[in-house]
Amino acid sequence: MRIAVGIDHAGAPLRETVMQAVRDAGHEPVDLGEHDDYPDTALEMGRAIAAGAAGRGILVCGSGAGVSVAANKLAGIRASVCHDHYTAGQSVGHDDCNVLCLGARVIGPAIAAELTAAFCAAQFSGEERHVRRLGKVFQMERDGMEASW
């Protein structure tokens, strides 16, 4: 799978670690470069996924929060800040997240590589309860505050 990697100025210390971890997981990193502002990084990531240039993405800023907030404003993007192994895998397995967000000021290179590997290896479970919940998320994305079930 092609996995886009987007970095803002604060995420730069983890850039090569994440790129190598994607390769080590058997995937092809797509380097989106480095941006000064995290919304620019998130937008480029969303465009890469929407265009089919990447199946998933990894965004890195200082905390992971900024890129996550920005990415989740984009249709079709389900981004999660993950700073532990369980969440990095579970965000895909249960929630079908397609973007991992990391904070370079929160975690170091060893943890970043571990979380990248967990995210890359995870697959959506397809279990009925997860599909049902994801359907509600899609309805919220489509209908906003008017969503109802």
- Catalytic positions are 61, 94
Write down the H helix ranges in the chain: 15-24, 38-50, 65-71, 85-93, 109-121, 128-143
Strand bridging mode 56-61 / 28-35: unpaired
What is the Cα–Cα distance from 53 to 45, expressed in whole angstroms? Answer: 10
Distances in whole angstroms, Cα of residue 31 to Cα of each of 34, 76, 144 = 9, 20, 32
Q: Residue 9 is which amino acid?
A: H
Q: Which of 29, 36, 35, 25 is nearest to 58 (CA)?
A: 29
What is the Cα–Cα distance from 70 to 127, expressed in whole angstroms? Answer: 28
